[in-house]
């Protein structure tokens, strides 16, 4: 139904060429997208974290968000790729000669399937309400599942954006209580999703039963394991001493971040163990608060395994310019409380050097949180093997950090990738499989990481590459580095090149020649 009463002229068709324009209709920001003779009117802000979508990329009827690459169908507003979990709102639009008129009253959204009135008597259980769990709930309802959904997580006030815990929370820009939720507060009630706060003790895959302690067991028809990971603790001599343990910070959830902020507020010098993404994001955030930061890590430069030595050096320089000190090629071996009044820690490295610090932040990776699962074989690292549809066994699916899945771009080789959007892509694939729907498009892995005000975007998953081609200017952090093997693009790392990364991500759904990748990376 078109709302003609409040239609107002907002643009001229001839001004739109074939691109996008943000307009204002009665105070509502609306994005106009011209496609041939048609104009689409959609919400101008990304439902994920509010990015201005007019800065996104248009590719073959799709709009890619500039910030974290959520992708939408421009005709329907539907989600093609997360991290957006809700579609774009559509607005009525009409053309009168060269005038474009829109209404700020949204087009009606399809009704959420009503679980109470449904004849579908199946129960789907989702264990873990993080990135993957939240995406699975939203996707199951989006794909039309009207049966019962039970979502279980031990943390209160889930799901929330975990990625800010190493960025804006430790820097002090975002109080832990202001961490944004992933879905509107009324989403679960509106969509008849039973959200239970409980610790899952056992999931028996053979009996299809979940035990959450004192409450009755939950019997399910299909379950999704989306329990993420538990941060690894370093095996340092002396770490279990009470005085030392009180000054060790791991980072996975809101409580961890709150403790980290409290500690940082009382201290001057942080030692970061592990030049991981989380380790270095925290290093960056703590430098924003003017703490001294020293990073200790094996390897020559950070991220050498993921990006190679040149890009690793680039990250290291960025951190050094901002005052982070590195002790690369070293491991910490022991830690003790010094006798000084302030109780500083003394850390001994594997070359017997000692460093003193006020507290330690650990960024050494995670172990998949799957200890509660019975009836299926787990890998040595605790992960679950899944096929390309995220199926682990009959009635059991896995998504996110727990899943070792078949990545089509690697010829079906199984990999485990610990990144936000991948976890949500898994969840959407699993939701399809749980409903017996055909699989979606091939998954292109993507992640972002944030250091000293610079957002880096990575596409693909490079295991091996023999060529790194730089486009743009790495020294000014305006570049895309293309990692290629045998003339094909395997991955790309970009900074300040949001549009080009958006276009590359869409193109990488199929094998991409390096020549074509260079052209896309160098496009205006």
Work out whether 158 is an interface residue with ligand FAD (CB under 6 A): yes
Angle between helices 131-142 and 420-434 (to 10 degrees): 40
131 touches which of ligand FES, ligand FAD, none (CB within 5 to 8 A by kind)? ligand FAD
Instruction: Identify the three-state secondary structure at position 187.
Output: helix
- Do 251 and 232 meet the contact criterion of CB atoms below 8 Å apart? no
- Whichever of 93 and 129 has its CB closer to ligand FAD, that residue is 129
Candidate segments 45-53, 128-136, 312-320, 383-391, binder of ligand FAD by CB under 6 A: 128-136
Task: Put the strands of the sheet holding 413-415 in their side by side order.
Answer: 384-385, 403-407, 413-415
Give the x/- contact pattern for ligand FES in 24-63, rule: CB under 6 A: ----------------------x-xx-x------------
Q: Which helix (H) or strand (E) holds 257?
A: helix 254-266
| Contact pick of 43, 103, 104, 166 for ligand FAD (by CB under 6 A) | 166
Closest CA to 149 of 177, 184, 169, 121: 121
| Contact pick of 133, 445, 494, 505 for ligand FAD (by CB under 6 A) | 133
- Do 460 and 483 meet the contact criterion of CB atoms below 8 Å apart? yes
- Whichever of 31 and 182 has its CB closer to ligand FAD, that residue is 182
Q: What are phi and psi of 137, to 5 degrees?
A: -60, -50
- Whichever of 48 and 416 has its CB closer to ligand FES, that residue is 48
- Do 517 and 484 meet the contact criterion of CB atoms below 8 Å apart? yes
Give the x/- contact pattern for ligand FAD in 375-414, rule: CB under 6 A: -------------------------xx-------------
Work out whether 160 is an interface residue with ligand FES (CB under 6 A): no
448 touches which of ligand FAD, ligand FES, none (CB within 5 to 8 A by kind)? ligand FAD
| Contact pick of 6, 15, 98, 199 for ligand FAD (by CB under 6 A) | 199
- Do 492 and 521 meet the contact criterion of CB atoms below 8 Å apart? yes
- Per 3-state DSSP, what percentage of the chain is helix, strand, and coil (rounded to 5)? 25, 35, 45
Residues facing 40 on adjacent strands: 33
Closest CA to 69 of 429, 420, 347: 420
Give the x/- contact pattern for ligand FAD in 259-288, rule: CB under 6 A: -------------------x----------
**CA-based angle 505:523:43, to the nearest 5?**
60
- Do 120 and 29 meet the contact criterion of CB atoms below 8 Å apart? no
165 touches which of ligand FAD, ligand FES, none (CB within 5 to 8 A by kind)? ligand FAD
The residues that touch ligand FES, with contacts defined as CB under 6 A, are 46, 48-49, 51, 65, 67-68, 70, 83-84
The residues that touch ligand FAD, with contacts defined as CB under 6 A, are 127-133, 152-155, 158, 162-163, 165-166, 199-200, 226-228, 251-252, 278, 369, 372, 400-401, 418-421, 423, 447-449
């Amino acid at each position: 139904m078109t709302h003609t009463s409040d239609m107002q002229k907002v643009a001229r068709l001839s001004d739109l060429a074939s691109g996008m324009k943000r307009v204002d209709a009665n105070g509502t920001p609306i994005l106009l997208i011209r496609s041939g003779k048609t104009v689409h009117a959609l919400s101008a802000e990304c439902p994920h974290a509010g990015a201005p979508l007019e800065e996104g990329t248009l590719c073959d009827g799709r709009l890619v968000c500039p910030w974290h690459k959520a992708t939408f169908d421009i005709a329907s507003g539907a989600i093609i790729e997360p991290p957006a979990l809700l579609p774009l709102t559509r607005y009525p639009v009409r053309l009168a000669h060269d005038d474009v008129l829109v209404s700020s009253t949204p087009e009606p959204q399809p009704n959420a399937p009503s679980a109470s009135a449904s004849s579908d008597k199946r129960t789907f259980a989702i264990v873990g309400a993080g990135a993957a769990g939240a995406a699975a709930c939203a996707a199951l309802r989006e794909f039309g599942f009207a049966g019962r959904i039970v979502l279980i997580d031990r943390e209160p006030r889930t799901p929330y954006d975990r990625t800010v815990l190493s960025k804006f929370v430790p820097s002090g820009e975002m109080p832990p209580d202001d961490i944004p939720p992933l879905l509107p507060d009324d989403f679960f009630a509106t969509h008849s999703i039973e959200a239970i706060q409980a610790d899952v003790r056992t999931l028996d895959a053979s009996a299809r039963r979940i035990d959450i302690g004192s409450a009755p067991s939950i019997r399910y028809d299909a379950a999704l394991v989306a329990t993420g990971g538990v941060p690894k603790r370093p095996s340092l001599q002396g770490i279990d001493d009470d005085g030392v343990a009180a000054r060790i910070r791991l980072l996975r959830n809101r409580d961890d971040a709150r403790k980290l902020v409290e500690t940082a507020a009382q201290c001057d010098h942080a030692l970061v163990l592990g030049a991981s993404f989380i380790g270095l994001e925290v290093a960056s955030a703590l430098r924003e608060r003017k703490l001294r930061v020293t990073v200790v890590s094996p390897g020559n430069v950070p991220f050498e395994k993921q990006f190679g030595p040149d890009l690793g050096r680039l990250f290291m320089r960025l951190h050094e310019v901002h005052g982070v000190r590195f002790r690369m090629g070293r491991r910490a071996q022991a830690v003790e409380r010094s006798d000084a009044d302030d109780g500083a820690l003394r850390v001994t490295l594997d070359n017997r050097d000692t460093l003193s610090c006020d507290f330690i932040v650990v960024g050494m990776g995670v172990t998949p949180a799957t200890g509660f699962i019975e009836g299926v074989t787990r890998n040595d690292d605790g992960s679950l093997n899944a096929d390309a549809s995220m199926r682990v066994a009959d009635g059991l699916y896995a998504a996110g950090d727990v899943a070792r899945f078949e990545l089509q771009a690697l010829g079906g080789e199984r990999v485990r990738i610990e990144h936000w959007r991948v976890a949500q892509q898994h969840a959407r694939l699993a939701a399809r499989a749980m409903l017996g729907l055909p699989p979606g498009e091939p998954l292109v892995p993507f992640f972002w990481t944030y250091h000293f005000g610079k957002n880096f975007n990575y596409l693909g998953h490079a295991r091996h590459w023999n060529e790194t081609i730089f486009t743009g200017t790495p020294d000014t952090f305006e570049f895309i580095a293309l990692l290629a093997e045998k003339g094909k693009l395997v991955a790309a790392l970009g900074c300040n090149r949001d549009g080009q990364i958006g276009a590359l991500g869409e193109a990488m759904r199929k094998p991409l020649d390096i020549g074509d990748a260079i052209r896309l990376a160098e496009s205006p």
